[in-house]
Amino acid sequence: MDFDALIRPELAPMVPYAPGLRASDVRERSGVESIRKLSSNENPYGPFPIALEAMAAVLPHLNVYSDGSVRALRDRLTEHLGVQAANISVTNGSNELLRVIAQTVLRPGDECVYAWPSFVVYPMVTQLMGATSVKVPLTDSLVHDLDAMLAAITENTRLMFLCNPNNPTGTIYTREAFETFIDKVPEHVLVVIDEAYFEYVDDEEYPNGLDYFDPAGRICVLRTFSKVYSLAGARIGYGILPTPMVSAVDKVREPFNVNTVAQVGAFYSLSDSAEVERRRRENQEQKTYLYSCFDRLGIEYVPSETNFVWIKAKKPVEVFEALLARGIIVRSFGTMPALRVGVGRPEDTDATIAAIEAAVDVLGSL
């Protein structure tokens, strides 16, 4: 069989998502027993105790399909967010929702505008639909250049992704900048605001996407239970979408796309706001500790509104390997002169700082 002729040509330039090194791989390479995986922006703590108990209770009932409408969780999110259940779509991680939105909106010849560097899934779902990616560079301060993104819109633009806070830089655009921007976006463009790290934000100038949501409008707000709620392995995210978009998403998403364990875990996680605040506070404390280390060693970094920090490195490959040798896994971007360092528990921060100090001793600088 001629697979080159069989497989869609849009897939040819695409590169599969690379999840990063596993702890077992690094343990074998480095010989270090204690591995700190700080490359995937995962929460260092497990799911909330109340969620774990509820998830364990449903395990004997997995012979039955999950609730395909995710009704209980959607009703719970209605109470939690103050939006209508009819405008909530729950998916197998927010990644699925990014793909499904692209699938419902983009056609070959259409354009999708997003900042760069940003979340790697945006170009993937754009290419998958045969549409054209329009990458707009971040500003010198690594923030979305909203003016340039406006200028990049054409009559062929159908979709725009805004990652706020941005992954991988941890930066945000402000409320004032967004309000100026959104008033000028043409009516034919759907604006998708990806707020995966929303719960970690401290900056009072952050524009909560829900403040601008209109059921009859053109803004979608996406969030996830993977980060502060520690359900990354359960795969569950959600979006608050205009009513016609919810209907369109329902037509193309998989039946029973969110498993029962994930639905129950997410439902009960929303009950523990005190734990959310505790984790958010500790994350901020550990970031501040990392900043003090970077300042002391003369390492350039970008203040972050997430659970990771973008550091600048003139020798990114060498620094990445030096940290691996001490059991610290951070996110590498090839030869891009930067690394993304996840924020973990206090003991993870201590180990990260020690590894960075050792790398500076060997390399002279990052």
Domain that holds residue 143: 49-269
Q: Which H or E run contains 72?
A: helix 71-81
Same domain, 353 and 224: no
So what's the pLDDT on residue 25? 80
- Look up the CATH number of the domain holding residue 315: 3.90.1150.10
Instruction: Indicate whether 288 and 263 sit together in one domain.
Output: no
Query: Distance between CA 195 and CA 298 in Å, rounded?
Result: 31
Cα separation, 240 vs 192, in Å, equals: 10
The answer to whether position 60 is within a domain reads yes
C-alpha torsion sign, points 100, 103, 106, 111: positive
Mean pLDDT over residues 82-95, rounded?
Answer: 97
Q: 3-state class of 115 per DSSP?
A: strand
Same domain (yes/no): 358, 278: yes
Residue 260 φ then ψ, to 5°: -60, -40
Instruction: Count CB neighbours of 322 within 10 A.
Output: 20
- What does the block give as tokens for 163? 């990652």
User: CA–CA distance from 339 to each of 33, 49, 225, 242, 363 (Å)?
Assistant: 23, 33, 25, 36, 16
Average pLDDT, the chain: 96
Check whether residue 165 and residue 225 sit in a common domain.
Answer: yes
Angle at 122 between CA 251 and CA 237, to 5 degrees: 55
Of residues 291, 241, 4, 297, the one with CA closest to residue 101: 241
Residue 327 in contact with residue 34, Cβ under 8 Å? yes
Residues forming a β-bridge with 193: 162, 221
Check whether residue 282 and residue 224 sit in a common domain: no
Q: Is 76 a domain residue?
A: yes
Whether residue 101 is contained in a domain is answered as yes
Q: Exposed, middle or buried: residue 110 (CB in 10 Å: 0-12, 13-18, 19+)? A: middle
Q: Which of 222, 251, 269 is the last residue of a domain?
A: 269
Q: What is the mean pLDDT of residues 222-240?
A: 98
Q: Are residues 311 and 167 in the same domain?
A: no
Joined tokens for residue 233: 């392995």
Query: What are the pLDDT digits (tens) for 247-292?
Result: 999 999 999 999 999 999 999 999 999 999 999 999 999 999 999 9
In this structure, the answer to whether residues 212 and 117 fall within a common structural domain is yes
Q: Is the pLDDT of residue 224 over 90?
A: yes
* pLDDT attached to residue 291: 98
Q: Which residues contact 166 (CB under 8 A, 6 or more apart)?
A: 115, 118, 119, 138, 142, 143, 144, 172
Q: Is 87 a member of any domain?
A: yes
Nearest to 340 by CA among 96, 97, 206, 165: 165
Residue 307 lies in a domain: yes
Q: Are residues 42 and 55 in the same domain?
A: no
Check whether residue 209 and residue 298 sit in a common domain.
Answer: no
Task: Say which residue, 24 or 188, is predicted with more confidence.
Answer: 188
Q: Report the CATH number that the domain containing residue 72 is assigned in CATH.
A: 3.40.640.10
Does this model's pTM top 0.85? yes
30 in a structural domain: yes
Span 343-349, mean pLDDT?
97
Judge if 93 and 214 occupy the same domain: yes
Q: Which of the four pLDDT bands, split at 50, 70 and 90, describes residue 241?
A: very high
Given the DSSP bridges, would you call strands 328-329 and 331-332 parallel, antiparallel or unpaired?
unpaired
Domain count, the chain: 2
CA–CA gap between residue 270 and residue 266 (Å, rounded): 7
